[in-house]
Every structure is written in structure tokens, then in C-alpha cells.
Amino acid sequence: MITTANIKNGVNVDQLVETIGAVQGNPELAKFEFRTKNNWIEGGHCVSSMKSFYGVGQEDTSRQETFTMECDHPNVLLGEDKAATPVEVVLHALGSCLTGAMVYHAAANGIDIEGAESSLKGGCDLHGFLGLDPEVRKGFDGITVRLKVKSDASEEQLLNLAKFSPVFDIISNPTPISIEIVK
Amino acid sequence: MITTANIKNGVNVDQLVETIGAVQGNPELAKFEFRTKNNWIEGGHCVSSMKSFYGVGQEDTSRQETFTMECDHPNVLLGEDKAATPVEVVLHALGSCLTGAMVYHAAANGIDIEGAESSLKGGCDLHGFLGLDPEVRKGFDGITVRLKVKSDASEEQLLNLAKFSPVFDIISNPTPISIEIVK
């Protein structure tokens, strides 16, 4: 007998249901730790690499490739513009995560997503970063996302699905960051 | 007469001082807007591009290149592992931004940074993302950063400089995100 995997929106729904069942059977499987190493090059230019992570009760052994990505700053921010700025990278992570969350949860709920694209904007005022005004935020004062989706589901349904995004939670709610400086 | 630019840690300190002076003279120059476009490919696989931004009182015309970067998910999270996950990308942005902020502010304060590398970790529990427990966060429950710096400055000084990071602010404090779904 030939069986066909139940794929919706590019997501293997059978595997998704299995994952939910496995986590319900053994809550420890749900614990993940993601890691990134970052190396300074010069000025505001850095390169990161990521490969290992922990999840499903063990150190991952499936990932073969080490991913690398850079950050730099444009000329007006004293960089050489060799890569996107860290704040643009945050928008990339957010856009990808909102979309991915919407697509996965749509698949789990039997909702077809035929297409999705988004544009994200974040504003900031350098008085914060430059230390010229302690009342001004160093980061974005806010982010706006316009997510265009081709689907029969309603805007409200799609928004509720997108809000399962981990990066949406990380940014919109306070996330504690502990920094240890080592000489 | 030949003059040499005053460079420290790869940062043009003369230009940095000029920038601070310009912002103090005309606060509108400090307003920036960064943008990213994101396109869904399938499942949890997306690609972003970034080029245009607004700053220093005008639309930027200096950036020649459009930067692109992808996100995907590993096999255990039902992806094809073609790129880092959005949450790993957040760690990349944070590590780069903490380092860049430290390096820029060190340069402005006459502090030499001879080297810097960091390792970042973020933990999460899939009960949140999967919607199995509303009490569990969808994103990281916390991030730890170990930043190794070669410098004569004290750990405390370096930590205070790193905390000028815009991405540190974006993540550690709530940042409002407005999402518009368009069909």
C-alpha cells in the first residue's frame, strides 16, 4: 500500500500532529536551546555562526551545515555597508517568524495559505543610542508589519495564527538577557 | 598637509564626533527608519531583502547592494534546514549589536578593543508555540550572552558600553508591534 504524506502549506501535518502528541506524552521533549557564536571583525562588522542546538530530548545530530551571517552598518552609521544592520536583521527574523507561525498553525487547522509576503518597518531616534537623551529609546520605538496573505481565512484568523510567533513574543514582551563579560 | 583619520577599533572617531555634533545641532537628523521585505517560500522557509532606509534627514542613496537572508527550520521542527531559524537569527542580531555598541562607545571614550567574541544561548519550551499551555512563553524564556573581550577596560565598563545596543533594548524591553493583515 502506498501512503501519501499529508502536506499542507509545505508543512507535513502528520509529523506536526505526531510532534504535538509526543510533547503531550513527554513534556521534556518540548525543551529547546538555540545557540549562536559571534565574532567581531572591526567597527560595527561582525559574523555569526550557528549549528548545534538542543531539542527533542537530545543534542541535535541532523544538521549538517553551519550557517553563517554577517552584520555591518551603512556609511552614515560609520560602517562599510558589507551587510545588513542588526536592527534590519531583527525585522528579517520577525517577518520570517510571523509568516512561519501563521503557515504552521494554518496547516494544523486545515487552512490553506497560497502566498504570503510582508514589509516591516522600525523607527528609531539616535539620541538614544548616542547617549544624548536618556528618555529616548536606543532601539525601535515601534515596528509596523504589513503581511499580505493569499488565503480564504479571515484577516482576524490569520492574525491570531501569526501571533503564535516566538520572535513576536521575544520582541513585544520583555525577554530577560543576562550578559557576562569575560576578559 | 597630510592629515590622518582618527580611527579606533575600526571606527572613525572624527566622523563619530561630527555625527554627535550634527544631531545636537539638528535633532531631526537622528530619526531613522529601517525596512525589510519578506517573502514566504514554503513551510517555515522565508527569504528577506533589505536595501532602502531613511536617516540623516533623507532617504539613503549610498547603499548599492540589496542584502538578502533566509530563515528555515531544522528537520525536527518540520523544516528542510536550509537556513538558520528565526530565533537563532535573533541571537545573531543581538550578539552583533552588543559588540558593535561596545566597540563604537569604546572608540568614543578612547578605549581600545583588541578582540571580541561571544556565545549566545536562548531556551524555549514548545508548549508555548504549539498552544498546549497558555502559561508558557512562545519565545525565549531568557537569553544568556558570554562576551569575551580583549581590552584594558573593566568588565563593568565594557558591560555598560554594550548596553547601548539597540537590539538589547528591543528584546529586553517591550517593543510595540503593529500587524496589519491584508488579503
A12: in domain: no
B108: in domain: yes
Q: Give percent of chain B with pLDDT exceeding 70.
A: 98
Judged by CB atoms closer than 8 Å, whether chains meet at B178 and A127 is answered as: no
Range of the domain at A99: 37-51+64-172
The three cell numbers of residue B135 are 502559561
pLDDT bucket at A105, cuts 50 / 70 / 90: very high
Name residue, grid cell 518540548. A30
* CATH code (residue A160): 3.30.300.20
Quote the number of domains for chain A. Answer: 1
Taking 90 as the threshold, does the pLDDT of residue B164 lie above it?
Answer: yes
pLDDT digits (tens, 9 = 90+) for A143-152: 999 999 999 9
Taking 60 as the threshold, does the pLDDT of residue B1 lie above it?
Answer: no
- Give yes or no for a contact between B53 and B45, defined as CB atoms under 8 angstroms apart: no
Q: Can you give the pTM of this predicted structure?
A: 0.97
pLDDT digits (tens, 9 = 90+) for B19-73: 999 999 999 999 999 999 999 999 999 999 999 999 999 999 999 999 999 999 9
A13: in domain: no
With beta carbons under 8 A apart, name residues in chain A contacting B179: 98, 144-145, 147, 159, 162-163
State the Cα–Cα distance between residues A39 and A60, nearest whole angstrom. 23
pLDDT digits (tens, 9 = 90+) for B93-107: 999 999 999 999 999
Judged by CB atoms closer than 8 Å, whether chains meet at A88 and B36 is answered as: yes
In the predicted model, what is the mean pLDDT of residues B127-134?
Answer: 96
Q: How far is A2 from chain B (nearest CA, A)?
A: 22
Q: Which helix (H) or strand (E) holds B51?
A: none
Interface ipTM above 0.95: yes
B28: in domain: no
A20: in domain: no
A4: in domain: no
Q: What's the pLDDT at A5? A: 78
The backbone region for A11, taken as left when phi is positive above 0, alpha when psi lies in -120 to 50, beta otherwise, is: beta
A164: in domain: yes
Q: What is the mean pLDDT of chain B?
A: 96
